[in-house]
Structure 1
Amino acid sequence: MIEMKRVGMETLDSMVEKVFAEQDIDHFGSIVETKKEKIAIGAYLDKKLVGGIVADKEYQTIHVSLLVITQDARGLSIGSKMLQEIETIAKEKGIIHITLTTRSYQAVDFYKKNGYTVFATLEDMPIEGVTKHYFDKRLK
């Protein structure tokens, strides 16, 4: 009999790593990557933290999971500078794609202005009346 239990991620970690390693070996002939990396950068204006960007590197992709700027620091190109910093790191690491998402009321035009392309949209996500936009920037 199959039984479902709610568990913490640490309970699943070793099983998940083993399955993905087996998939790597089956598909690529060896384990491609064992280390994910979290990248976090703070933006400071006059020694005050006014913005931040958080990204996850996995294989040859970086996914930006967070980009935020305080209201009083907007319009100073801080967001563009943070994206450029992530792109510099990405190029140093041989990254092919940078992906990110934003909601319809947030920064759609900002990401387009910075060279990101919408590859998908999902209406009523995460709540009715909001559209989630999925972006990609190919570096190679």
Structure 2
Amino acid sequence: MASAEVRVASTQDVQELCARLLAFNRKASGFGFDESPLQLASHDAEGRLVAGLLGEICAGWLTLHIVWVDPDNRSHGLGSQLLLQAEQQAKAAGAHGVLLDTFDWQAEGFYLRHGYEVFGRLADFPLGHERIYLRKKL
């Protein structure tokens, strides 16, 4: 193979890389790997965003990327409401599990109280802290 130059990927490169990996995964697994976004938001009476959840359903799993509640609105059940609604929507869409990660200063206890289990910890991410990986069967 001839020498290849490594450089910053263009937008077109990124799209092509994703398409090629998706094609490989579909062929290898026989599964579609189509992603379906799951996006929820909660606003107060004045219309201000006070909580939200962003994720996607793919390959039978809901992957949660962001679950956020405004500090002034925590401990009132809003986060639980978001999580429950996301789980219900994911299950209705055919998902059988939920995957997420959090940091040791964030919400591990919250997820444990909602039936999630830790399946991995990555030390020193960032230095002196842990990144925690959790899952839940639906």
TM-score bin, normalised by smaller chain:
0.7 to 0.9
Alignment match, 1:2 = 4
| Moved beyond 6 Å, runs of 4+ | none
TM-score w.r.t. the length of structure 2 is 0.88
Counterpart CA distance in 2 for 1:80 and 1:73 is: 12
Query: SS where residue 65 of structure 2 aligns?
Result: strand
Task: State, as a whole percentage, how many aligned pairs show the same letter.
Answer: 22
Which structure 2 segments of 5+ residues have no match? none
> Counterparts in 2 of 1:115-126, with a 5 A limit?
115-125=115-125
The CA RMSD over aligned residues, in Å, is 1.7
Alignment match, 2:57 = 57
Deviation at 1:7, TM superposition (A): 1.1
Aligned length: 135
Query: SS where residue 14 of structure 1 aligns?
Result: helix
Counterpart CA distance in 2 for 1:34 and 1:119 is: 23
1:98 aligns with 2:98: yes
Counterpart CA distance in 2 for 1:121 and 1:13 is: 31
Query: SS where residue 75 of structure 1 aligns?
Result: coil
Counterpart CA distance in 2 for 1:122 and 1:64 is: 18
Which structure 1 segments of 5+ residues have no match? none
Counterpart residue type for residue 49 of structure 2: L
